[in-house]
């Protein structure tokens, strides 16, 4: 994803346009945020370390600290934008643990509402979202920037 965005930018695409096309929200030193391409609910964010590693225990401490710091901020932004009744944060480690890409860890951040699950995901392997990913991208990105520390 990152390589594709960088490639598009080097070929003349505006940074914001390239990041929106890939649903990349934020880049930091050790991790980036993006929307889940197949979300379980509106606002389903992934916190992804650049380090290609399959274990949280093996993730360098500074990278793990940045991941958790970003998770804290993601919670704050999602609460401000969507006012969820609750939140799920988690990692699926290994194929047996449900990891889509077992060789690369990432953390899910998922806003939740009472009664938000339905049969579509279970019986039809289909996601029902009230908001397009591009809309979610814009709302989250603006709210993240609004929460940037000011000097």
CA distances from 67 to 29, 31, 61, 89, 116 (A): 10, 6, 10, 12, 27
Q: Is 104 a catalytic residue?
A: no
Phi, psi (rounded to 5 degrees) for 78: -60, -40
Q: Please identify which of the residues 23, 44, 104, 106 carries the catalytic annotation.
A: 106
**CA atoms of 44 and 78, how far apart (whole Å):** 9
Choose among 85, 104, 127, 90: nearest CA to 2. 104
Q: Which residues are catalytic?
A: 106
């Amino acid at each position: 994803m990152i390589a594709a965005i960088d490639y598009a930018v080097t070929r003349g695409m505006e940074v914001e346009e390239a990041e929106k096309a890939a649903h990349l929200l934020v880049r930091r030193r050790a991790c980036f945020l993006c929307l889940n391409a197949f979300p379980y609910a509106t606002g389903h964010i992934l916190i992804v370390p650049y380090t290609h590693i399959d274990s949280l225990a093996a993730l360098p401490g500074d990278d793990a600290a940045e991941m958790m710091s970003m998770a804290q901020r993601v919670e704050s932004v999602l609460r401000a934008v969507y006012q969820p009744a609750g939140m799920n944060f988690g990692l699926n480690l290994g194929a047996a643990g449900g990891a889509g890409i077992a060789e690369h860890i990432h953390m899910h951040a998922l806003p939740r509402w009472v009664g938000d699950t339905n049969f579509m995901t279970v019986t039809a392997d289909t996601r029902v979202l009230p908001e397009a990913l591009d809309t979610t991208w814009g709302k989250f990105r603006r709210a993240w920037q609004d929460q940037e520390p000011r000097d």
